[in-house]
Chains A and B, each alone.
Chain A
Amino acid sequence: MSTAVADTCFLVHWLRFRERERIFEVFESIAVPVIVLDEMGARGRVMLAPWLASRRAFLIPRINDHEVEALRLVEFSRSQRLPTLDPPEAYCLAVAKRRGYAVLTDNKAPKYLAQILKDYSTVKVLDSLDILSLIYGDDLAEAVKAYKEDTGLVFSKTRLKTYGINS
C-alpha cells in the first residue's frame, strides 16, 4: 500500500463520510500539507486529529521548492486557459511528483494537468468516486448514495455511467 497527499476540498468532504476510515484499505497513510491544514477550520481539524494522532496521517511542511513548483503549475494552467488550478491542489501535485504519492482531489484541474503534462504523467490523481470504487467494488451504488447524503456532493451522470451506475 502507498501514500496519498490530500487536497483541502477532498479532505473536508471525505472526513464527513460515515465510513471515512475505510480509506486506509486503499492507502497506508495520508499526507496533509500544512498549506491544506491551514485552510481547515475547527471542525475539520477535530475530524482530522485522530488520523494525525494515530500517525495514519502526517503533515508535510511548507517547502520552498514545492511552493515554487506549485506557482509554476498555477501560472501554466492560467496561461494555457486550462481549468482553474488552486494553490493547495498545485502544491499537492508538486509534492506527489517529488515523493511518488498519489493525489486525492475532487477538482478536475489536477487530473487534467496530470494527463497533459509529460513530467506529471506518472502522478496518479484520484477523486472520491475513484476511491469509493476501489473500496466498495460491486457495492459502489450504495456507497455513492451514502457519500452524497453525508457530504452534499454529487457525481456526474456521465462518470457514474462509466462505473455502471445509472442515476
Chain B
Amino acid sequence: MEKFKEFEREARELREKSADWEFIEKQPEPIKTALKVLVENGDLWLAAKISGLPVDEFDEIRIKAKIPVVV
C-alpha cells in the first residue's frame, strides 16, 4: 500500500505540473470540474463520467489540457 501511495503522490505532482491551467479554466462546466478532478485523483473514468462525455471524447480534451495519464 505504501508503494501505491508513493506512486499516487508522484503521479499527482506530474499531473499538476504538466496541466495547462489556462486551458482548463477556459472550459465550460462540467468539463472544467472534470479536468480538475482528473488532475487531483487521476481517475479518467470518473472524470469522464463527471464531464458527461464518453471516455474517448473526454480523453481528447485531457490531451489538449496536457494532463498526463500516469501508469
Known: A39-B48, A41-B57. A86 touches B43 (CB 8 A): yes
- Report chain B residues within 8 Å CB of A89: 45
25 residue pairs from A and B, CB less than 8 Å apart: A8-B45, A9-B45, A9-B69, A12-B44, A13-B69, A39-B45, A40-B55, A41-B53, A41-B54, A41-B56, A43-B56, A44-B54, A84-B46, A86-B46, A107-B43, A112-B4, A127-B71, A152-B63, A152-B66, A154-B68, A154-B69, A154-B70, A156-B10, A158-B10, A159-B71
Q: Considering the chains assembled together, what is the distance between the CA atoms of A13 and B14 in angstroms?
A: 19
Q: Which residues of B contact A42 (CB under 8 A)?
A: 54, 57
Give the residues in chain A near B59, CB-CB below 8 Å.
12-13, 152
Chain B: interface size category = 20 to 34
Most buried by B among A43, A89, A157: A43
In the assembly, what is the distance between CA of A84 and CA of B14, in Å? 19
Give the number of residues in A that approach B within 8 Å (Cβ atoms).
32
CA–CA, A112 and B5, complex, Å:
12
Q: Are B10 and A157 in contact (CB under 8 A)?
A: yes
Q: Is A3 an interface residue (CB 8 A)?
A: no
Q: How far is the CA of A107 from the CA of B11 in the complex (A)?
A: 12
Q: Tell me which of B55, B60, B62, B70 contacts A8 (CB under 8 A).
A: B55
Closest to A155 in B: B71
Residue of A whose beta carbon sits closest to that of B3: A158
